[in-house]
């Protein structure tokens, strides 16, 4: 007697397809029961429509007649996702370190560029992995991202992200 006959039945009595279907249903039942009782952790929970406040730094921005940022202007990712609106702007001269011939360093204040420290408010989703603007664009500290606004397009560093109180 063969293990699998020409009709695809195991020992001539049970179909292999039936065994696969029953095994899949049993596996799903075990996962759902274990998830409800807390024995295994199901996929990450997300909280949608969470308000957040992000502190960002636009570095080495050329001095121009018009400021590249305005309170109330929107910031967007390179893919067009809305990150949030600027609520505060702190413009400071860009400081860079210069090394002297004797090996010491001194701070050099740029005459041609500024650093902009921005406070941005927006909404998105929050999960164990962090904050996501529009549910897809990750915002986390020390992340260097490219954003754009009405008068700016360039690199920005995320300094901090917190849920809005």
| Predicted TM-score (pTM) of this structure | 0.65
The H-or-E segment that residue 11 falls in is: none
In tens, the pLDDT along 15-26 reads 767 778 888 888
What pLDDT was estimated at residue 8? 65
What pLDDT was estimated at residue 3? 64
The Cα 56–Cα 84 span in angstroms is 12
- CA angle 12–8–4, rounded 5-degree value: 55
Contacts 24+ apart (CB under 8 A), 35-44: 44/127, 44/128, 44/129
Contact by Cβ (8 Å): 60, 94: yes
What pLDDT was estimated at residue 89? 95
Q: How sure is the predictor about 83, in pLDDT bands with cuts at 50, 70 and 90?
A: very high
Q: How sure is the predictor about 1, in pLDDT bands with cuts at 50, 70 and 90?
A: low
């Amino acid at each position: 007697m063969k293990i699998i006959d020409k009709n695809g039945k195991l020992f001539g009595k049970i179909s292999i397809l039936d065994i696969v279907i029953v095994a899949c249903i049993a596996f799903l039942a075990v996962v759902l029961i274990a998830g409800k009782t807390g024995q295994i952790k199901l996929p990450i929970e997300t909280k949608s429509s969470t308000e957040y406040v992000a502190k960002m730094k636009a570095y080495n921005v050329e001095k121009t007649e018009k400021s590249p940022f305005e309170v109330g202007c929107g910031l967007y990712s390179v893919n067009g996702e809305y990150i949030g609106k600027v609520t505060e702007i702190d413009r400071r001269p860009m400081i860079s370190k210069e090394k002297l011939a004797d090996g010491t360093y001194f701070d050099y204040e740029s005459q041609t560029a500024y650093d902009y420290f921005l406070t941005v408010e927006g909404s998105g989703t929050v999960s164990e992995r962090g904050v996501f603007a529009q549910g897809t664009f990750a915002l986390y500290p020390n992340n260097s991202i490219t954003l754009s606004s009405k008068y700016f397009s360039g690199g920005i560093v995320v300094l901090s992200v917190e849920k809005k109180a």
